[in-house]
Amino acid sequence: MVPLGIEKSSIMPVITLAFSPCPNDTFIFYAMTHGKVDTEGITFRYHLADIEALNRLAKEKEFQMVKISYHAWLFLRETWTLLDAGSALGYGNGPLLISKRPYTPEQVPGLTVAIPGEYTTAHLLLRIAFSQVRDTRIMLFSDIEKAILDDTVDTGVIIHENRFTYQGKGLRKIMDLGAEWEKLTGAPVPLGGIVADNDLGPEIIAKLNRIMQRSVVWGMEHPGETMPFVREHAQEMDESVMRQHIELYVTGFTVDLGKKGKAAIEIMKQLAHERKIIG
């Protein structure tokens, strides 16, 4: 078990960090975990996990800095601080609802739907678009396409690199849940963000935000140097897919949420309340 609190050593403090092995995360965290940017005297001990596992780790406070879904953030915002830097938030990058058979959106409420985690933003966007869906099955995101092909479920919500590969497996899109969100709200899609444990205190949290921003900018300026680390952890090993993934999910909002990014998160919170998805 990774100890909580800032570890003190004779050299510098250590922050425990958890993020996903997806290309956009390994891309943005590479510089700060490999000594490429000024970390203001902080070093990072990192752990990689699937996004729903990260949501759970944040809930249980296993780490001090974590990448989580914005759906999970709605439940954890009292005890964690959302950083302005590091978010996956933007346009045209939302999850897709797919199937093997030619189902229509009207049929979806009566179908079984695989989701990549209860507290993923993918699940939240599904609920916003289809409030009457009842039969959901939680699966690892990388297992959803196979479950559909094997008729274990009727449909599934795919995220990450699977949105680039599903058509090649004979699957079809029922709805782009991100496009549906954009149509409903006019806002970019808040997928995931970086949070820091409130127990760290405002001074350390402000440092973490600055370090995170430097790491994102460094990755944007040196994309080729990040790729060995990205490639080491990517589920989808095709180089073009990894680069498409990074280009889609690492945006100007990743450098800084800004007013528009923060407004999108507030809209998501309001809609989740209105649809009784959160209390």
Q: CA-CA distances (angstroms) from residue 32 to 73, 112, 174, 243?
A: 23, 41, 39, 20
Q: Are residues 241 and 162 in the same domain?
A: no
CA 172 to CA 101: how far, in whole Å? 8
User: Is 3 inside a domain boundary?
Assistant: no
CATH number for the domain harbouring residue 207: 3.40.190.10
Q: How many residues does the chain have?
A: 279
Q: What is the pLDDT of residue 162?
A: 83
Is the domain of 208 the same as that of 72?
yes
* Residue finishing a domain among 185, 206, 239: 185
Catalytic residue positions? 160
Spatial separation of the C-alpha atoms in residues 136 and 149, rounded to whole Å = 17
105 and 84 within one domain: no
Of 169, 185, 201, the position where a domain reaches its end is 185
Total number of domains in the chain: 2
263/241 same-domain check: yes
39 falls within a domain: yes
Mean pLDDT by 10 residues, the chain (279 residues): 39 89 96 98 96 96 97 96 97 96 97 97 96 94 95 95 88 97 97 98 97 98 96 82 92 98 97 88
* Domain-ending residue, one of 152, 185, 218: 185
- The answer to whether residue 174 is domain-embedded is yes
What's the one-letter identity of residue 125? Answer: L
Domain-embedded: residue 65: yes
Same domain, yes or no: 142 and 105: yes
d(CA 250, CA 91): 11
Helices (H), 38-166: 51-59, 70-76, 121-129, 144-149
Whether 8 maps to a domain, the answer reads no
In which element (H, E) is residue 77 found?
none
What is the rounded distance in angstroms from the CA atom of residue 33 to the CA atom of residue 233? Answer: 14
Q: Which of 160, 148, 165 is nearest to 113 (CA)?
A: 148
Cβ atoms of 99 and 262 closer than 8 Å: no
Q: Residue 237 has what pLDDT?
A: 67
Tally Cβ neighbours within 10 Å of residue 64.
27
Residue 7 inside a domain? The answer is no
Residues 61 and 199 in one domain: yes
Q: What pLDDT sits at residue 276? A: 87
Query: Domain containing 170: what range?
Result: 96-185
120 and 196 part of one domain: no
Residue 249, C-beta contacts closer than 8 angstroms, at least 6 positions apart:
22, 23, 24, 88, 90, 93, 191
Tell me the three state secondary structure of residue 137. strand
Rounded distance, CA 113 to CA 116, Å?
Answer: 10
SS3 192: strand
- CA–CA distances in Å: residue 59 to residues 55, 63, 131: 6, 10, 25
Specify if 116 maps to a domain: yes
Verify that 126 and 255 share a domain, yes or no.
no
Residue 6 falls inside a structural domain:
no
Classified as helix, coil or strand, 4 is coil
Same domain, yes or no: 84 and 108: no
Q: Are residues 177 and 197 in the same domain?
A: no
Enter the pTM of the model.
Answer: 0.92
Residues 107 and 216 in one domain: no
Contact 218, 31 (CB under 8 A): yes
- Same-domain pairing of 84 and 203: yes
- By CB neighbour count within 10 A (0-12 exposed, 13-18 middle, 19+ buried), where does 2 fall? middle
